[in-house]
Amino acid sequence: MKRLVSGVKPTGEVHLGNYVGAMRRFVTLAGQYESFVFLADYHALTTVRDAALLKKQTRELAAAYLAVGLDPKKTVLFRQSDVPEHAELAWILNCVTPMPTLQRAHAFKDAAAKKKEINVGIFDYPVLMAADILMYRAVVVPVGKDQVQHVEIAREIAKRFHTEFGAEVFTLPEPLIEKGTETVPGIDGQKMSKSYGNVIPLFASAEETKKRVMRITTDSRAPAEPKDKKDTLYALHKVFSSAAAMKKVDAAYDNGGLGYKELKELLADEINAQLSDIRARYDDLIADPKKLDKVLADGGECARAEAQKMMKTVREAVGLQ
């Protein structure tokens, strides 16, 4: 079976963008690929500065993966930092990565444009990500659109390594994007993102979900008027609403007849209905940290054995003894 690799950072509340753009796809793709899915805690260190918080968020993310239905028997689920070979491979890849490749990465350019203080970890983020992907010979990397450039950089680094060392040790990965969920908007219409403060959390209560949905930005059209299908509310209905609900929504957008308040209430009901089982499972899982630790320890062991095999090949190829 071909290999799949992907990860999520434990940097805050998991949100609906992470869920539909990435996490729920790991579950459906697990039957088609040999899957390695991880918690990107080394990547989280580029921003998190609180050890207890990082541990808490890592535990929450582990519970989230299992709650959405990831089966650790079918998917190797592990913490990135349990496989320190990722950091070793990143160093070796650093040595073949041209600075300009990283200077044109969107995340770095955005941070630089906003005159944010940038640490070397942020600048080097794509190289660690390349190491995550190339380590397991992944053929596909299911991600949201914001991560496509990073997968392309991983390909570029692999090719460069092959040329410079004359050894074809890596598999060239492809990003796997799902049409329709590649960029889920947040309540303000920008991409849903932890750093924009516009998220609907995956594990919020039904009331909190409704509160956030009621804050979705809309224009001032009256209930009787037709509405603009390019708006954020419609985009979120497209992602979360059932066919039956979509019929009502389409009728209201085409011909009028429902106000934004009703359309938002409908969206909140659809999201809450779709997530109620996942949310109940999460509450049970988070109450059992021993079980989570065991799943991650087993996954870590399995991933590390694979990583050590790859590192033997890489060390050989570059001349490290």
Residues lying near ligand TYM in the complex (CB under 6 A)? 5-9, 17-18, 21-22, 40, 43, 129, 132-133, 141, 143-144, 146-147, 181-184, 191-193
DSSP character at residue 118: -
Shortest spacing between CB 141 and ligand TYM, in angstroms: 5
The rounded distance, in Å, linking the Cα atoms of 275 and 293 is 25
3-class DSSP assignment, residue 140: strand
Rg (CA), the chain: 21
Shortest spacing between CB 93 and ligand TYM, in angstroms: 13
Cβ atoms 172, 138 nearer than 8 A: no
Cβ closer to ligand TYM: 40 or 54? 40
Cβ closer to ligand TYM: 190 or 308? 190
Cβ closer to ligand TYM: 31 or 180? 180
The rounded distance, in Å, linking the Cα atoms of 176 and 157 is 19
Cβ atoms 141, 158 nearer than 8 A: no
The rounded distance, in Å, linking the Cα atoms of 100 and 87 is 21
Cβ closer to ligand TYM: 213 or 252? 213
Instruction: For tokens 């060390």, name the residue.
Output: 315
Cβ closer to ligand TYM: 203 or 258? 203
Shortest spacing between CB 236 and ligand TYM, in angstroms: 11
Positive or negative: CA dihedral 80, 204, 277, 262: negative
Cβ-proximal residue to ligand TYM, closest one: 21
Shortest spacing between CB 15 and ligand TYM, in angstroms: 7
Shortest spacing between CB 192 and ligand TYM, in angstroms: 4
